[in-house]
Amino acid sequence: MDAIRRLAQEHTEVTRRYLLQLGAAGAAGLSVSRLWAQQGGDADALLAEAVSRLEYLTREENFRNAGRGKPKPHTLPAAKLREVGLSRETWWLEILPDPQSNAQLERPLSRASGTALDFAGLMKLAETRAVRFMSVMSCTNGREPFGMGLWEGVPMRDVVWLARPTSNVRRVFYYGYHNEDKEQRFQSSLPIGRVLEDPPGEHPVILCYKLNNEWLTPKRGGPVRVIVPEEYGNRSVKWLQRIMLTNSFKANDTYAEWNNDTVSHLKTCARFIHTPEKMKAGELAAITGVAQVGMSGLSKVQHWLHLQGEPLPDDDPYFAKGQWKDAEVLPAPEQWGGGLPDGKLPPVPRQFDATGKPRQWPLRNTIVHWAALLRAPRPGKYELRCRTIDANGIAQPMPRPFPKSGHNVIQTVQIVVQS
Ligand SMILES: Nc1nc2c(c(=O)[nH]1)N[C@H]1C(S)=C(S)[C@@H](COP(=O)(O)O)O[C@H]1N2
Ligand SMILES: [Mo]
């Protein structure tokens, strides 16, 4: 299933509630599944079936996967996973000084000296240090989010302090398991400052061992992966086994070698999920989508229906002057999906109060669903576009022809309006 289909599944129930509230479907005596069914195409069955489910969080098995390797580490047989330290029973983590630099650690954690951290040690830290938060997994080069997760882990700083770094540390390099082959290595890095402190409202960089309140699977990078809450997925190295403290100030990220920017905060952007291929002139149609709430926050989602052939604003490649209309950003769901029993959240005190209400909405570095009703006055071929307005009032995407620090374009779909 492609990413947008999965999001569609997760998103249908919130949309249904929105439409019922609006009365658009209810008043016409039209069930929502029939409303969708009028669209034709193979989305129908999917939508009808998904209508009863609320899935804000993505189920583990529905995440899009980006683990590289030959073989991909998560496909190794269980015995091999155990052998190479990728089970909770056998996991180990080394924290070493970068041999290429003069970083000083009083107590490196190494396998050779028998001091590597094991999973029991991580769980010991978790007793007092564990944090849980929602953040969206998106790829720098992906059009749609890979999945919306509720992650649990121990702040990386608590683990770094175990090694007692004393001087000459500017950056943290970290590595996953890649079949013991240098060529296959996927690595990332962060400035030590980001690991040690979090800006207000931001979550710590964590060594994550649970997704949606279940142990992290091998596919998701288990037993332990990094989650960097505010950045694209390439920072969130899976199958973590080694952290290296260095005095280098340079990023050594695999993603940099692959022609991407490395400081890659999530961008605020909108995508369509459901749009009709055809609609009738003068009649209402529902459109829905998902928005990613990135670094600049989100205040609005907008759409713009434009009759093909009508003049477009001059010298306006980013459509800043289009006839944009506000869509409705949908409220927090009551059931969170993601495979949580009854869709109920475990305590998430960083983002939700004691009654389970989000402290703000939307939450930063997550997604929101949105919906709108369209009416086209006359027949013809139309172009429908969507964009976001960030929390600073700036339209996103900004003019940005180079996607190296995160994909973001104004999405356009075609709609045929019949008489
Ligand atoms: N070890 C390892 N970690 C990795 C990768 C990888 O190839 N190997 N890919 C990264 C990239 S580019 C992304 S977008 C995310 C995707 O996370 P997911 O597979 O859980 O969706 O994993 C990141 N972590
Ligand atoms: Mo990625």
Structure tokens at 65: 């996967």
Confidence of residue 46 (pLDDT cuts 50, 70, 90): very low
The predicted model gives 92-98 an average pLDDT of: 98
In a domain, 239, yes or no: yes
Q: Which two tokens stand for residue 21?
A: 């509230």
Q: What torsion do the CA atoms of 62, 66, 72, 75 make, to the nearest 10 degrees?
A: -10
Domain final residue, candidates 211, 228, 257: 257
Residue 48: per-residue pLDDT: 32
Atom of ligand 1 nearest to the CA of 139: 14
pLDDT tier, 41 (very low <50, low <70, confident <90, very high otherwise): very low
Q: What percent of the chain has pLDDT over 90?
A: 74
| Structure tokens given for 41 | 């195409």
Least confident of 27-41, 222-236, 325-339, 342-356: 27-41
C-alpha pair distances (Å), 323 with each of 221, 329, 336, 379, 392:
44, 19, 34, 18, 20
DSSP 301: E
Domain closes at, from 257, 277, 308: 257
Q: What distances in angstroms separate CA 378 from CA 288, 326, 419, one per listed residue?
A: 22, 21, 7
CA distances from 151 to 85, 108, 210, 345 (A): 21, 27, 6, 12
Q: Residue-wise over 171-208: b if at least 16 C-beta within 10 A, else e?
A: bbbbbbbbbeeeebbbbbbbebebbbebeeeebbbbbb
Phi, psi of 90 (to 5 degrees): -120, 5
How far is residue 252's CA from residue 101's CA, in Å, rounded to a whole number?
14
Say whether both 146 and 104 belong to one domain.
yes
Which residues, 6 or more positions from 255, have their beta carbon under 8 angstroms from its beta carbon?
140, 188, 234, 262, 264
Integer Cα distance of 213 and 208 in angstroms: 11
Same domain membership, residue 192 and residue 286: no
Query: Which residues on adjacent β-strands are paired with residue 23?
Result: none
Whether residue 50 is contained in a domain is answered as: no
Ligand 1 centre to CA of 322 (Å) is 37
Identify the nearest ligand to the CA of 63 by its number.
1
242 and 301 assigned to the same domain: no
* Alpha-carbon Rg for the chain in angstroms: 23
Closest ligand 1 atom number to CA of residue 175: 1
Do the domain assignments include residue 389?
yes
Q: Which positions ≥6 away from 128 have C-beta within 8 Å? A: none
* Residue 110's CATH number: 3.90.420.10
Residues 306 and 195 in one domain: no
CA of 344 to the centre of ligand 1 (A): 27
> 236 CA to middle of ligand 1, Å?
6
Buried b (16+ CB within 10 A) or exposed e, 84-114: bbbbbeebbbbbbbbeebebebeebbbeeee
pLDDT number for residue 263: 85
On whether residue 10 sits in a domain, the answer given is no
* Of the candidate ranges 118-122, 222-226, 371-375, the one whose mean pLDDT is the lowest: 371-375
Quote the CA–CA distance of 293 and 33 in Å, as a whole number: 28
Q: Is 238 in the pocket of ligand 1 (CB under 6 A)?
A: yes
Q: Do 215 and 327 belong to one domain?
A: no
Q: Which two tokens stand for residue 213?
A: 């309140």
Q: With CA atoms as reference, report the closest residue to 268 among 387, 150, 149, 358.
A: 387
Asked whether residue 114 is assigned to any structural domain, the reply reads yes
- Phi and psi at residue 416, to the nearest 5°: -95, 125
- Averaged pLDDT, 253-268: 93
Residues 315 and 407 in one domain: yes
Decide: 227 and 208 in contact? Cβ < 8 Å. yes
pLDDT at residue number 19: 56
Beta carbon of 65 within 6 Å of any ligand 1 atom: yes
Q: Which band of pLDDT confidence, cut at 50, 70 and 90, is reported for residue 34?
A: very low
Owner of token pair 């940099």: 256
In a domain, 248, yes or no: yes
- What is the tally of structural domains in the chain? 2
pLDDT at 40 > cutoff 70: no
Roughly what angle, to the nearest 10 degrees, separates helices 3-22 and 43-50? 60
> Nearest residue CA, atom 15 of ligand 1?
233
Distance CA 2, CA 64 (A): 8
| Token code pair at residue 13 | 């129930």
Residue 27 has a CB neighbour count (10 Å cut-off) of 9
Structure tokens that stand for 383 in this block: 């172009």
Same domain, 204 and 344: no
Is the same domain home to 107 and 176?
Answer: yes
Is 242 in the same domain as 280? no
Q: In this structure, what CATH number is given to the domain that contains residue 327?
A: 2.60.40.650
Q: State the pLDDT at residue 398.
A: 87
What is the per-residue pLDDT across 344-384, written as a single tens digit (0 to 9) for each?
A: 999 999 999 999 999 999 999 999 988 888 899 999 999 99
Q: Mutate which of 179, 234, 404 to test ligand 1's pocket (most atoms within 8 Å of Cβ)? A: 234
Given a contact cutoff of 8 angstroms between Cβ atoms, the answer to whether 329 and 406 are in contact is no
Inside any domain, residue 43:
no
Average pLDDT rounded to a whole number, residues 68-88 = 96
Which range of residues forms the domain containing residue 392? Answer: 267-418
Position of tokens 């909108």? Answer: 270
**Is the minimum distance from the CB of 220 to ligand 1 under 6 angstroms?**
yes
Q: Which of 213, 229, 257 is the last residue of a domain?
A: 257
Number of the ligand 1 atom closest to the C-alpha atom of 178: 1
Token pair for residue 6?
Answer: 């999965």
Tell me the pLDDT band of 226, cut-offs 50, 70 and 90: very high
Pairing of strands 240-246, 92-97: parallel
Mutate to test the pocket of ligand 1, among 136, 209, 236, 257 (most ligand atoms within 8 A of CB): 236
13 assigned to some structural domain: no
If asked whether residues 171 and 316 sit together in one domain, one would say no
Identify whether residues 288 and 198 lie together within a single domain: no
On whether both 110 and 208 belong to a single domain, the answer is: yes
Distance between CA 174 and CA 240 in Å, rounded? 7
